[in-house]
Structure 1
Amino acid sequence: MASQGPEMTSPVCLIENTASGLQMNQEALEILSRIEQPVVVVAIVGLYRTGKSYLMNKLAGQKSGFSLGSTIQSHTKGIWVWCVPHPVKADHTLVLLDTEGLGDVEKGDTKNDCWIFALAILLGSSFVYNSRGTIDNQALENLQYVTELTDLIKVKSQADNEEEDDIHYVRFFPNFVWAVRDFTLELKIEGKDVTQDEYLENALSLRKGTGKKVSDYNLPRQCIRNFFPTRKCFVFVPPTAPEKMKNMEFLPETELCPTFVQATREFYHYVFQQSDVKKLKGGHKVTGRMLGSLATTYVETIRSGAVPCLENAVIAMAQIENESAAREGLTAYQEGMKQSLNFPETQEELSQKHAHWEKQALEIFMKRSFKDENHEHQNNLAEEIMRHYVSIVEMNETSSIQICRKLLEDESAFMVQKLQAGVYASVGGYEIYCEDRNVVVEKFRATPRKGVKAEEVLDQFLTEKKAEAESILQADKKLTENEKQIAGEKERVALAEQQIKAEEERRLQIERLYQDEKQSHEENLRQLKLKMEEEMEKNRIEADEALNSKLKEQEELLKRGFEQQSRMMQDEINDLKKDAKRNIWTDVIVPVATEGLRTFADFLRGRRSK
């Protein structure tokens, strides 16, 4: 069962804003590292002193937690995190990110605001922009950071051009929610009642024309329309009288404006129901542990002076996760085999247990791994499993040899005593010797659970007794020379037959081991096929969502008469359609199929040559 991580009673700082720049807080990373559940990440940004923290506390189901403050100074510095059980999605964790207020005059560094804004987008699956008053041109100018996103965030490590990058932002950016606080106007446009969402879309409408004024007016609106796959708006009337605002977190709902209370409920119901799990490029769900690693990667990139890149972050994350997934799968195989083994085993028993635990190990690996380029980590896991299986096969053989030798030693002890007492040196001693030896062989064969080396050890035992039997035969005066020759020939035939049985035992074991290799290969391909089908479906959904968003935007442009912009968007739509139809199988199966399981094949070839 996935770990939910510690129950957080209050938020902690995740990304500190220090004099030397942004840096990660280890306490928060430790908390995130223990969360193995998928996370729904809601990040909020906005001008300072606009009530962001109040909304986040409501999402956490608490009256207090994130600092509301009661002065004109910004209280939240950096980015703070609060992880709580998701109230709607079982086995998911809701991660709330509250950011320091934008535009704080005390900071004096607008670049700092840009990075806080960019990190909220990079880490969130829902992005809430909190503003006050109305969505007018001033409000959109305050949202200037959105126009700089292509300078702050890269989708690909080596993009051919900006336009190609722009196509893909909508695939990987979070949902956009605009929360308008202290809204006092009527929701009407040209005298007609409109919804909150219609109010937002009208505010994001583009102006026709050319020139700097029109371009400046359209730029932030166009960026929001281009970058964010879905847009939602909530308007909140003032919650209470101005003199009560400083104690707002302590006020019961009965002292708040009913319209404000209702809007707040609609807001967090929407967030709970519609905010999706945080996903990486390719649709892979992010856990708390992965979120902490992502945040670390982005902050380290920013501190280095570079621009955070979604593709690079996914590659770095994939390397970490795939290595861990392979270790976790191998550990499951090793522990499972260790607990289920009972040496000595038959090769059939050993093969069945190997197949079962290898299947479990691969399922664990496939569940956690992603973007395993050239299937490097899957092949490494397959080889490590086979190496371990080879060692188990050898231990099983050693156990079988030891048990069989001990059994023959114990069963033949009375023959040693008779030999020392001279029983076999008497007349007719050879017949007595043969009868006793047959008793030993029969008891040995009748004893169960001797393992895979029974016939081989018996062959060695009888070979070791060959000289002894020949000596007793030649000394037995009861037998004629002719009878001795016949008896000697029978001895040679019996030894040859035993050697054939030992060879057949080895042949059957090698054949079973080759079958194991074949089944391992087939199981790797089977699970890889399922993984690729799953990833293809995720890519299809990702592309379809981006395509639908662009088609909707194109329809809106046509409706408002922006035919030129609509035609320009058609190229983006065509590229997204190609992405949706792209077949990735040619890049998937061949490397694994031709790679094989080298370790075991080499082992088998070595054994056959002996």
Structure 2
Amino acid sequence: MAPGIAMPLPVCLIENRDGQELVINQEAAQILYDITQPVVVVAIAGKYRTGKSYLMNKLAGRKNGFALGCTIQSETKGIWMWCVPHPYKPGHTLVLLDTEGLWDVEKGDSKNDAWIFSLAVLLSSNFVYNSMGTIDQQAMEQLHYVTELTKRIRLKSSPAEAEDESAEFKRIFPSFTWCVRDFTLTLEQDGKEVTEDEYLMNALKLKPGVSKNIQDYNLPRECIQSFFHSHKCFVFDRPASKRRLQRLEELHKSELDRNFVDQALRFCAYIFKDGRVKTITGGQLVSGRLLGHLAVTYVEAIRSGSVPCMENAVLALAEIENAGAVEDALSKYETEMGQRVAKFPTETQEEFLNLHRECEEAALKIFLGRSFKDENQKYQHRLKRLLDQKMKDFSQRNEEVSADRCRALIQKLSVTLETGLSQGEYSRLGGHKHFLEEKLKLLEAYNTMPGKGIKAIEVLQGFLLEKKPIEDAIMQADNNLTQREKEIAEQRSQAEAAERDRQILQENNGRLQQLMEDEKRSNEQHEKMLREKMEEERLRMIRENEWLIEQKLKEQEATLSAGFTQRADALQREIQGLRNQRHSSSRRSKCVIS
């Protein structure tokens, strides 16, 4: 599979059929499956005909691609995807998701908009909300979909755990960037100049009070602050005159408003530099392949009438990825060992096991690099069993190559001996001595020839046992030998055969001992590499918790300054819970692999 991919044009990832049914485009999903690099996913949502597609084209480095359109009708239907190499992060792919415009009067079904909005949040690591004019109450009311996220997204599968899971949303939700288009106001607050980010945060401030109106006012603001882990704002001047806007994608940079050009460049630079890599719970990096499976899982849940559950989606991903990790690891082992087959036969079992160890380690790295949430090491144990079987297959192949080479060598070296037998040269007086001389020459040549492998003695013993009746017949027919000499010759022959049997037994026992030691080494290697991965995951979880605690502290500080003590107390409980998790992770001993 290609690690990354560069698409010439965007494709529809999630089709919106007649505004009623969401369907995954399997060809687009396959594009994601083929991307093994980590992905930075940027999704944009907002009202139709507000210039969302223009910004996404800028991120792709192109003047056109995502449809811009120039009429009052929405051009983008469903969610369109464009995958391009990340300009700032080598080895990463930038995935751009342009969503269907919200509140299109032709659709008439706001529930469909809510699912489009929810999918954009679920799939992205950087969520961009695009609106026109100013951030005012009307803009906030139009963003009411954010208040429905807890109804349309579940983090936990257990109803008991899902009762109040909004505290965890910040852990897995994307960053939030608000782009305000055609902005005409001056960035001032109480007579003082403010930044774009301060403008946004001022707009997100909560009002004290408990009335229904105040609760309605606060709800979208509270959701934005609580769900998304960071908040950024960009304001854009009008890019060009109304007449020119109808052919915006054709305009040269010099024909655009200079401020707008600079603002668009700043927006792109921020996304490229600070845009987060997509992760799932535990800080696991998401590849294009994982993102594709997530998209399929979420859309299938929506189509079935259920609420997408992130925990279930991650578990389903783990099953897919872990099974794939086993296949990849086995393929790696077979490829690596296949390259070493040229070294067969190995002279010793130890040499073969060294080759196996190198290939097993490479395979294990592949497995651990792709697998995650392998509960009770189910898939790693499966991999171990399969690798052991593959090792036995290659070991048998090594033995077969050795045996074939030894038999071919004996056949070559025994030509003179076989010729003498066929011509009856040993069936006369002194024939036994002549036979022994030829046999000794054969043995000396065979024993000094390198590259025979681990079956050398066994094959030789088989050959000599095959010739034993012939040798006995020659000896008995040789009248030049006394009975005593024949008895001595027989005893010597038996002793030589017994010595070779002893050597064969010793070698077999030695190989068995080496296999047992290699099994112990293999188990220790699997355990060591798994411990290292688990420690990395533990540290990553601690870092994620530290980051989340920092985010919650900032939120608590802002909440306290606004006088919302009850909300601040709730945040304090969340922070304490995270600190308890950190303490537990810090004290957790390394897992003992059975």
TM band (smaller chain): over 0.9
Q: Tell me by how many angstroms 1:247 deviates.
A: 3.0
Aligned position for 2:13: 14
- Counting aligned pairs with the same residue, the percent is 49
Residues in 2 aligned to 1:458 and 1:240: alpha-carbon distance in whole angstroms? 91
Change (3 A) 1:471 1:583: farther
Mean CA deviation greater in 49-58 or 401-410: 401-410
Change (3 A) 1:365 1:505: same
Superimposed CA distance per residue, residues 25-53 of structure 1 (whole angstroms, 9 cap, x where no aligned partner): 23322333333322211101111222212
**Is 1:344 the counterpart of 2:345 in the alignment?**
yes
**Of residues 562, 574, 577 in structure 2, which corresponds to 1:575?**
577
Task: Report 1:31-430 matches (<5 A).
Answer: 31-162=31-162, 164-342=164-342, 343-346=344-347, 347-430=349-432
Secondary structure of the 1:80 match is strand
**Is 1:450 the counterpart of 2:452 in the alignment?**
yes
Counterpart amino acid of residue 487 in structure 1: A
Residues in 1 aligned to 2:56 and 2:417: alpha-carbon distance in whole angstroms? 87
Aligned position for 1:490: 492
Superimposed CA distance per residue, residues 226-267 of structure 1 (whole angstroms, 9 cap, x where no aligned partner): 111111111223333344433333333334333322222211
Secondary structure of the 1:44 match is strand
Counterpart amino acid of residue 483 in structure 1: E
Mean CA deviation greater in 71-80 or 303-312: 71-80
Aligned position for 2:548: 546
Counterpart amino acid of residue 12 in structure 1: V
Question: Given that residues 187 and 194 in structure 1 are in contact (C-alpha distance below 8 angstroms), is that contact kept between their aligned partners in structure 2?
Answer: yes
Residues in 1 aligned to 2:411 and 2:307: alpha-carbon distance in whole angstroms? 74
Counterpart amino acid of residue 75 in structure 1: E
Secondary structure of the 1:424 match is coil
Question: Given that residues 5 and 85 in structure 2 are in contact (C-alpha distance below 8 angstroms), is that contact kept between their aligned partners in structure 1?
Answer: no
Residues in 2 aligned to 1:248 and 1:469: alpha-carbon distance in whole angstroms? 99
Residues in 2 aligned to 1:247 and 1:396: alpha-carbon distance in whole angstroms? 70
Counterpart amino acid of residue 172 in structure 2: F
Residues in 2 aligned to 1:204 and 1:445: alpha-carbon distance in whole angstroms? 87
TM-score, with length taken from structure 2: 0.94
TM-score, with length taken from structure 1: 0.91
Superimposed CA distance per residue, residues 83-142 of structure 1 (whole angstroms, 9 cap, x where no aligned partner): 222222222222111111111121110100110000000111100011122212221111
Change (3 A) 1:344 1:488: same
Secondary structure of the 1:176 match is strand
Secondary structure of the 1:504 match is helix
Counterpart amino acid of residue 401 in structure 1: A
Residues in 2 aligned to 1:408 and 1:286: alpha-carbon distance in whole angstroms? 58
Q: Tell me by how many angstroms 1:18 deviates.
A: 0.4
Superimposed CA distance per residue, residues 45-83 of structure 1 (whole angstroms, 9 cap, x where no aligned partner): 111222212211221222222222222222211111122
Mean CA deviation greater in 51-60 or 160-169: 160-169
Counterpart amino acid of residue 15 in structure 1: I
Residues in 2 aligned to 1:579 and 1:310: alpha-carbon distance in whole angstroms? 20
Change (3 A) 1:562 1:484: same
Mean CA deviation greater in 110-119 or 279-288: 279-288
Residues in 1 aligned to 2:239 and 2:575: alpha-carbon distance in whole angstroms? 43
Residues in 1 aligned to 2:258 and 2:502: alpha-carbon distance in whole angstroms? 92
Q: Tell me by how many angstroms 1:584 deviates.
A: 9.4
CA RMSD of aligned residues (A): 2.2
Aligned position for 2:535: 533
Question: Given that residues 404 and 457 in structure 1 are in contact (C-alpha distance below 8 angstroms), is that contact kept between their aligned partners in structure 2?
Answer: yes
Residues in 1 aligned to 2:587 and 2:313: alpha-carbon distance in whole angstroms? 24
Residues in 1 aligned to 2:128 and 2:28: alpha-carbon distance in whole angstroms? 22
Residues in 1 aligned to 2:486 and 2:549: alpha-carbon distance in whole angstroms? 93
Task: Report 1:427-446 matches (<5 A).
Answer: 427-446=429-448
Aligned residues: 591
Q: Tell me by how many angstroms 1:470 deviates.
A: 3.4
Aligned position for 1:473: 475
Aligned position for 2:30: 30
Residues in 2 aligned to 1:204 and 1:584: alpha-carbon distance in whole angstroms? 36
Secondary structure of the 2:280 match is coil
Residues in 2 aligned to 1:81 and 1:174: alpha-carbon distance in whole angstroms? 17
Q: Tell me by how many angstroms 1:6 deviates.
A: 4.0
Residues in 2 aligned to 1:3 and 1:341: alpha-carbon distance in whole angstroms? 28
Secondary structure of the 2:73 match is coil
Change (3 A) 1:274 1:151: same
Q: Tell me by how many angstroms 1:163 deviates.
A: 5.4
Mean CA deviation greater in 512-521 or 193-202: 512-521
Residues in 1 aligned to 2:433 and 2:140: alpha-carbon distance in whole angstroms? 109
Task: Report 1:590-605 matches (<5 A).
Answer: 590=592, 593-594=593-594
Counterpart amino acid of residue 142 in structure 1: Q
Question: Given that residues 159 and 165 in structure 1 are in contact (C-alpha distance below 8 angstroms), is that contact kept between their aligned partners in structure 2?
Answer: no
Residues in 2 aligned to 1:406 and 1:244: alpha-carbon distance in whole angstroms? 84
Residues in 2 aligned to 1:38 and 1:410: alpha-carbon distance in whole angstroms? 58
Mean CA deviation greater in 109-118 or 16-25: 16-25
Residues in 1 aligned to 2:26 and 2:435: alpha-carbon distance in whole angstroms? 78
Change (3 A) 1:134 1:472: same
Question: Given that residues 425 and 476 in structure 1 are in contact (C-alpha distance below 8 angstroms), is that contact kept between their aligned partners in structure 2?
Answer: yes
Aligned position for 1:524: 526
Residues in 2 aligned to 1:40 and 1:97: alpha-carbon distance in whole angstroms? 11
Residues in 2 aligned to 1:505 and 1:340: alpha-carbon distance in whole angstroms? 23
Secondary structure of the 1:426 match is coil
Change (3 A) 1:157 1:363: same
Mean CA deviation greater in 429-438 or 196-205: 429-438
Question: Given that residues 455 and 505 in structure 1 are in contact (C-alpha distance below 8 angstroms), is that contact kept between their aligned partners in structure 2?
Answer: no
Mean CA deviation greater in 120-129 or 430-439: 430-439
Residues in 2 aligned to 1:491 and 1:60: alpha-carbon distance in whole angstroms? 83
Question: Given that residues 118 and 149 in structure 1 are in contact (C-alpha distance below 8 angstroms), is that contact kept between their aligned partners in structure 2?
Answer: yes
Unmatched 5+ stretches in structure 2: none
Question: Given that residues 178 and 232 in structure 1 are in contact (C-alpha distance below 8 angstroms), is that contact kept between their aligned partners in structure 2?
Answer: yes
Q: Tell me by how many angstroms 1:159 deviates.
A: 4.5
Change (3 A) 1:249 1:429: closer
Aligned position for 1:602: none
Superimposed CA distance per residue, residues 401-437 of structure 1 (whole angstroms, 9 cap, x where no aligned partner): 2332333344334334434544434333333332222
Residues in 1 aligned to 2:163 and 2:549: alpha-carbon distance in whole angstroms? 16
Residues in 2 aligned to 1:332 and 1:484: alpha-carbon distance in whole angstroms? 59
Q: Tell me by how many angstroms 1:586 deviates.
A: 7.2
Q: Tell me by how many angstroms 1:541 deviates.
A: 2.3
Q: Tell me by how many angstroms 1:224 deviates.
A: 1.0
Counterpart amino acid of residue 452 in structure 2: K
Mean CA deviation greater in 74-83 or 166-175: 74-83
Residues in 1 aligned to 2:583 and 2:531: alpha-carbon distance in whole angstroms? 18
Counterpart amino acid of residue 98 in structure 2: D
Aligned position for 1:600: none
Change (3 A) 1:466 1:250: closer
Q: Tell me by how many angstroms 1:194 deviates.
A: 1.6
Residues in 2 aligned to 1:584 and 1:466: alpha-carbon distance in whole angstroms? 72
Change (3 A) 1:440 1:45: same
Counterpart amino acid of residue 199 in structure 1: Y
Question: Given that residues 206 and 218 in structure 2 are in contact (C-alpha distance below 8 angstroms), is that contact kept between their aligned partners in structure 1?
Answer: yes
